[in-house]
Chain A
Amino acid sequence: MTAALRFDPIRLPPECEVLRQEVRAFLAEEIAAGTFDPHKPQREDSDAPEFSRRVGERGWLGMTWPKQYGGHERSFLERYVVTEEMRVANAPTRRFFVADRQSGPVLLKYAPEHIKMDILPRICRGEVCFSIGMSEPNSGSDLFAAKTKATRTDGGFLINGSKIWTTSAHIADYMIAIFRTSPPTKENRRHGLTQFLVDMKSPGIKVNPIAQITGQYEFNEVVFEDVFVPDDHMLGEIDGAWKQATSELAYERSGPERFLETYYVLTELVRALGPNPDIRGAEGIGRLVAQLHTMRRMSVSVAGMLQAGKEPVVEASIVKDIGTIWEQQLPHRVRELAAFVDPDASNHATLDDQLPFAIKTAPKLTIQGGTTEVLRGIIARGLGLR
């Protein structure tokens, strides 16, 4: 066998079911209190800071981290359940999600102790928002073309250049970014990038919002002019960010957020078609549900491998590849299947409201977090083709 792909049928343990009910009850309370409308995926996140704090109070941030940093030492599978329930409810998670999924684990691994003691407990309390500074105007898929420089100065580094497409930079307290500390070498064009923790309140940072085709503002251009970053904010090895960045990928790529971003239109399709759909509608729903169920079984399976301490890089990339393609096609399939439903019927209204937004969202799904093409390159490497 050239490629031994494994997708064992992991089941969520009973404590996850208890937790799931707690999360559902919490979300129902928040909805009842008017914090967010689950039928409005396109909302503006005005109430999100308080929501973040309440999620933190429940112990649902930093769930898998050590207790000494405010974490809860719970399992990846428990975290999985919280993530999917939040996603399915369209809860406003933007403020804490990146910190919880990605930035916290990076700090845990690479930050000096006093920084961990300072920031991680605040993430767990839902008080801090993180952004990720990877992409630059001429460096997206080709991360190693990044040019923004960190130059040595007294007690730290001076940053000059810009980042782009930085989600949440306009509300973020911190950014974890890669900057060029030396030129690439002949032998290794990945060499020379270093990871830093940047305080977004540092003088010299300018955040310019970029409007998206959905009408929302989520990502930004971030310009750095002689921004000072102290030595102890360097994360991990100098010039070695490429090693660090690739090991994070399994966590970033296989979670339920990678196939549930447009899920709401499937629920609304079922509502619009009603209890007795025609054969075309029934078949369409059946196929979409079979695909969703399969995606989820794959994703839970990868979560189980992570919990067991494995590094399922290929499996995780596969989940992101077919997950994002699925969530991208979903609004279009829903549109086709809803075409014969009486538009005057009252159960059609929410779908009419949501579908245009989902269709406009769709193009980004196979781009954010690494494009389909780049992922397929990673899978091909895993298959031994390169």
Chain B
Amino acid sequence: MTESDNIVAETAERIFADLADAQTINSGKDGAWKAPLWYALEQAGLPLSWVPEDCDGSGASLAEGFAVLSAAGRFALAVPLAETMLAGWLLAQARIAAPSDTMTVAPAHPKDRITLNADGSLVGRARGVPFAKGARHIAVLAHGADGVAIALVAIAACRIEPGLNLADDPSDTVILNNVTPLALKPAPAGFDQNALMLMGAVARSLQIAGALESMLDVSVGYSNERVAFEKKISKFQAVQHNLAKLAGETSAALAAASSAADAFAHAESFDDALFLEAAAAKIRCAEAAEKGAAIAHQVHGAIGFTQEHILHRFTLRALAWRDDFGSESHWAVELGKLVATRGADELWPLVASR
């Protein structure tokens, strides 16, 4: 998944650089940047990257879409691009055509369950749904008597209890009170809520890794400008070592996330190896976000603690994304159980199979 041979990601990167520059957004404060950005993304077909062409989407490969998410992470993008892409991907699993506007996906929390009633309506509650308020549609995974189903639902038909994540982006509770979906089809064999959570976890891992790349970049840049005790702070060994550690955490996140994305892009089924890749990526990226954000702030001193400075756009989103589609604690327990069930002597063969 190299950026250079990926035109889709290059297009995304160019749009982000033109219309989602962190400095401009941070000084703007009013959200006026959002409409032109989304318009440009739609014109380029990016929100429906993962929707096949015969379902009115762009038909990009999984790998191309994943590279878009890495770039979105590098810009700490605060519009529902990842969410719309995930919703389109979920709908495509059941070959439901995707509408062209902002979407999100539910559930986003592994413990939430949405039920499909016998009459075809949906009931349930989904917490921590990113960008639900403001989106037009929501792709829903539901459990019915006959198995798992995928549905397209109008947000207007749901009750939304608004909430905010750490970075003040919408993270809402969506209540489905016997809502009749706009479209409803059974999920393909083997596709379940775990599959949705793992795909969401990979998306968030790529975004976190991207945000860490920018934290490293901004921090190295700052250390080369800021002068204290008559020299650049980058010349102090303690600062250098902090930045080396930040580079290490960034590298770990990049390696884990891109490996998991690659595993998804080539997967034929949801097996133990894919589970290891996706769960490990979310766990390790979340750990990297915690350590990395602390170092980035440390290097910046007080200026990084202000609203004026762009650093928080990256650190707070990376920290917030830890909670979506299963936190690192959730996946660690699940991965630990899997390893324990397979038994001690099967651990190395599992790890070495990747």
Contact = CB atoms under 8 A, between A and B. Distances in A.
Interface string B236-249: 01011101110110
Most buried by A among B261, B263, B277, B339: B339
Interface in A16-41: 20
A7 B235 CA distance: 27
B339 A289 contact: yes
A375 B244 CA distance: 9
Contacts of A383: 216, 220, 243-244, 247
B339 A8 contact: no
B36 interface: no
Given A286-B332, A373-B241, A266 B347 contact: yes
Contacts of B277: 293
Interface stretch (B131-139, B252-260, B300-308): B252-260
Contacts of B178: none
Nearest to A285: B336
B17 to A, nearest CB: 12
A63 interface: no
B259 to A, nearest CB: 4
B329 to A, nearest CB: 6
Interface stretch (A112-120, A139-147, A185-193, A272-280): A272-280
Contact of A385 (B240, B251, B332, B344): B240
Contact of A2 (B220, B258, B335, B354): B220
Interface in B226-282: 234-235, 237, 239-241, 243-245, 247-248, 250-252, 254-256, 258-259, 261-263, 276-277, 279-281
Nearest to A263: B348
A283 interface: yes
B4 to A, nearest CB: 11
A88 interface: yes
Contacts of A287: 283, 287, 328, 332, 336
Contacts of B255: 7, 9, 294, 297-298, 301
B1 interface: yes
Contacts of A296: 351-352, 354
A314 interface: yes
A377 interface: yes
B16 interface: no
A70 to B, nearest CB: 28
A284 interface: yes
A294 B340 contact: no
Nearest to B279: A290
Of the listed residues A293, A375, A382, the one surrounded by the most CB atoms of chain B closer than 10 A to its CB is A293
Contacts of B343: 270-271, 275
Contact of B217 (A3, A289, A375): A3
A205 to B, nearest CB: 38
A383 B222 CA distance: 13
Interface stretch (A122-130, A240-248, A315-323, A359-367): A315-323
B336 A281 contact: yes
Nearest to B329: A283
B340 A270 contact: yes
Nearest to B346: A270
Contacts of A377: 237, 240-241, 244
A336 B343 CA distance: 20
B216 A3 contact: yes
Nearest to B256: A294
B340 A290 contact: no
Nearest to B223: A385
A286 B348 contact: no
B240 A289 contact: no
A318 B262 CA distance: 22
Given A290-B281, A290-B284, 14 more contacts: A5-B254, A88-B348, A267-B344, A270-B343, A273-B340, A275-B340, A277-B336, A289-B339, A294-B284, A297-B354, A379-B248, A380-B244, A385-B224, A385-B234
5 contacts: A5-B254, A290-B331, A293-B276, A297-B256, A376-B241
